[in-house]
Structure 1
Amino acid sequence: MGHAGSSSLTIAAQHIFDGAEMRGPGSVRISQGRIESIAFGEAEARGSIRAPADAILAPGFIDIQVNGGGGVLLNDQPTEAGVRRIVEAHRKEGTTGCLPTLTTDRSEVIERLAAVAQPCLKIPGVLGFHLEGPALNRSRKGIHPEAEIRVPDRRDLAAIKSFGGRGRSMVTLAPECVPASMIDELIGAGLRIAAGHSDATAAEIGQAVDRGVSGVTHLFNAMSQLNAREPGLVGAALEDDRLFAGIICDGIHVDRAGLRVAFRCKGRDRLMLVTDAMPLAGTNDRQFMLQGRQITLHENRLTGPDGTLAGAHLTMIEAVRNAVALLGISLVDALIMASRTPAAFLGLASELGRIAPGYRADLVAFNPNFEVVGTWIGGVGSMGEASEASRG
């Protein structure tokens, strides 16, 4: 059932995760898109909207790496309509904020997205954009097209830097492949920088972090590994508490032991769940074209013709469920990694990731089977038919 965007509403739930601990029962009062107050106790759990009896109300999920969804690949449709389709597909799975992600492509494609980036920020759920490439290391290219991997020229830089003023946008690059001054220039433009698709030494990563690089893109995948005398990007990421790291928790990209090591080293306040989702997320399709190559889905694994992993077939609610199952961590820790931590990485720690007075009313309700039954963005939302939501 839908809910019109009235200026105020109250959502009641038996279980409320406030961003720090599991509480409830209680109700959350929302006014003008922000959380006005929370009250706990059975007597308080009377809302204009009541979540299903077993549902958990939590801060909405934030996905900083989403290449596609709902049948759309951002590179193919860098338009307002394309972005809307991707965001709406992931919203059904609990993502209330994301960075639509453009993988390595031609200058014209970056410019096309740059041209619509400002109006796209008005689409509910778009927090900014993620440019993954083109300044990657060819030796760690993954599925990115080698022919388009390059050090950005002035034309590229102008388009990339324009994203610095578009929400909280970020760039993934290989720090060893660009002049240090370029990192300074991008950060100066307002962009967050993550190291990824990189063969950097730990020392090179340390220097990049000193310059302001603050993230690591899909930890363990497409990067220099941890060895005895050269810790590489993996070692630097695990060791340096200044770095936030995204991780693909699908049981395919990273082995369970690797996931657990990452969690022990980084913890819930630096490790972020990401989907790295492709267009098949939110569809029943089994294949799509990625820059001229056919990508096929088989047993939840997306691969190109040569067997290279091509993104993930994953949603945020699945990532949360997998984190609990594969890492053996609490639901609280998984929810923090899905919301509060990415909010902190994006510099939105005082806006998103908690259910507290003054925070934006971006919320998700899901049941014990990890099925999303409702989402709200700025207090405007819907409860799915599955929820049998009742109005008190």
Structure 2
Amino acid sequence: MNKLALVGGRIFSDYDLFENRALIVEDGKVIAMVDPAEIPDDCQQIDVHGANICAGLIDLQLYGDGDDLFSAQLTSESLQRISDRLVSKGTTSYMMTLATNTFSVFKEAIRVASHFHHDALLGLHLEGPFLNVKKRGAHPAELIVKATKENIKELLGEHNMVVKMMTIAPECMDDDVLEYLQSYELLLSAGHSDATSIEGIKGFDLGIPTSTHLFNAMSPLHHREIGMVGAIFNHPTACSSIIVDGHHVNFEAVKIAKKQMGERLFLITDAVAACSEGIYQHVLNDGYYSLPDGTISGAAVSLFESVKNAVLRVDIPLEEAIRMATTYPARLLKRSDIGNLNCGSIANLLIFSSDFELQNVMVKGELIS
């Protein structure tokens, strides 16, 4: 594998911005950040001509891309196409998400994913079926069930290696069942929830670290009952994802959330794909997807476009918008080898211009576009 030196760019990594430095990559990893005069002789130099360089983006919630909605196809070929397209758009790590479905569909998805490998695929995120039907959104009410130890075991088996994340409604789950679910060591997220603020805070206190698409499908902030939104705002450690496409959440509301939450807020796309079969028939509107009855059902934005929106429409500084799609999701995953360009990390990165033209993507030290 070639030893590369990226020069002439502004390099963003975690809380650092490096200018007039060279990023050295070898054997799929970042190995050094050096002065250009100190670039080893055996490096192939690539001048990015003043472009920005940041770690590959991490999306913890999306359902498909292009014409591929994974839950409607459930094939390794679909996963391959989705993964390759996402990487070409700058998302080098992602959770393939399935919304509430039958247990047979969930199990088949787990089976397919267990026999599939792609460097970008982190695992599966099950958004359901243990949700609150009052905040179901586009999820079918008849498929939402109350969690028990028995149906958790039926769904995940005894030794789950594929499902890495799950969205649950904490007010609908008994404490002992939540503890049992936590034994699977999933990243749990509170969502599709009608929790009171007390119920929401209790869930976070019991160890749920984050929440799903802030504002959407959750009890709102009201001045007499602040609901799940208020619980997220006020809890000292609760994180939340947010969809910054301008349709799911007004950009002004994103500004409010960012001021309240700071580093606890991170980006997801919630992206779906056009689909005319199965229980999730997504129809593309002007910038978002809905069910045939008009219920908003998913986004049509990439994570890189979300970063752009965060900067241009929400007035978030570029370095912070990048962290919202790299550092903060990696922190939730407890991964120090992705989401940054520190020495020893996987060499997944983006090269993009000051006007947000994505110029190149690197995966494990290989430029792919």
Residue among 268, 273, 291 paired with 2:267? 273
Range that drifts further, 48-57 or 173-182: 48-57
CA distance in structure 1 between the aligned counterparts of 2:132 and 2:145, rounded to whole angstroms: 9
Q: Does 1:116 align with 2:103?
A: no
CA offset digits 1:11-35 (Å, max 9, x no partner): 3342211221322233222233221
Range that drifts further, 226-235 or 77-86: 77-86
Task: Give the aligned partner of residue 335 of structure 1.
Answer: 322
Q: Does 1:16 align with 2:3?
A: no
For residue 278 of structure 1, what is the amino acid of its counterpart?
Answer: V
For residue 372 of structure 1, what is the amino acid of its counterpart?
Answer: L
Task: Give the aligned partner of residue 284 of structure 2.
Answer: 297
Residue among 171, 179, 183 paired with 1:176? 171
Q: Does 1:166 align with 2:166?
A: no
CA distance in structure 1 between the aligned counterparts of 2:259 and 2:83, rounded to whole angstroms: 32
Contact kept, 8 Å, 1:324 with 1:331, in 2: the verdict is yes
Alpha carbon RMSD of aligned pairs, Å?
A: 2.1
Tell me the secondary structure at the aligned position of residue 131 of structure 1. Answer: strand
Contact kept, 8 Å, 1:161 with 1:191, in 2: the verdict is no
CA offset digits 1:102-144 (Å, max 9, x no partner): 1111111111122233333x31101122110011111111111
For residue 376 of structure 1, what is the amino acid of its counterpart?
Answer: M
Task: Give the aligned partner of residue 365 of structure 2.
Answer: 379
CA distance in structure 1 between the aligned counterparts of 2:127 and 2:277, rounded to whole angstroms: 15
Within a 5 Å distance, the mapping from 1:318-329 to structure 2 comes to 318-329=305-316
Contact kept, 8 Å, 2:131 with 2:144, in 1: the verdict is yes
TM-score, length of structure 2 as denominator length: 0.93
The 1:201/1:345 distance shift into structure 2, 3 A limit, reads same
Pairwise CA distance, 1:358: 1.4
Task: Give the aligned partner of residue 235 of structure 1.
Answer: 230
Identity of aligned residues (%): 31
The 1:314/1:50 distance shift into structure 2, 3 A limit, reads same
Pairwise CA distance, 1:42: 6.7
TM-score, length of structure 1 as denominator length: 0.88
The 1:10/1:148 distance shift into structure 2, 3 A limit, reads same
Residue among 285, 288, 294 paired with 1:307? 294
CA distance in structure 2 between the aligned counterparts of 1:266 and 1:17, rounded to whole angstroms: 22
Contact kept, 8 Å, 2:200 with 2:231, in 1: the verdict is yes
The 1:226/1:361 distance shift into structure 2, 3 A limit, reads same
Tell me the secondary structure at the aligned position of residue 121 of structure 2. Answer: coil
- Count the aligned residue pairs: 367
Contact kept, 8 Å, 1:14 with 1:45, in 2: the verdict is no
Contact kept, 8 Å, 1:19 with 1:58, in 2: the verdict is no
CA distance in structure 2 between the aligned counterparts of 1:256 and 1:352, rounded to whole angstroms: 28
Task: Give the aligned partner of residue 387 of structure 1.
Answer: none
Within a 5 Å distance, the mapping from 1:278-289 to structure 2 comes to 278-279=272-273, 287-289=274-276
Residue among 98, 101, 106 paired with 1:102? 98
Q: Higher RCO, 1 or 2 (CA under 8 Å, sep at least 6)?
A: 1
The 1:151/1:325 distance shift into structure 2, 3 A limit, reads same
Residue among 347, 353, 356 paired with 2:334? 347
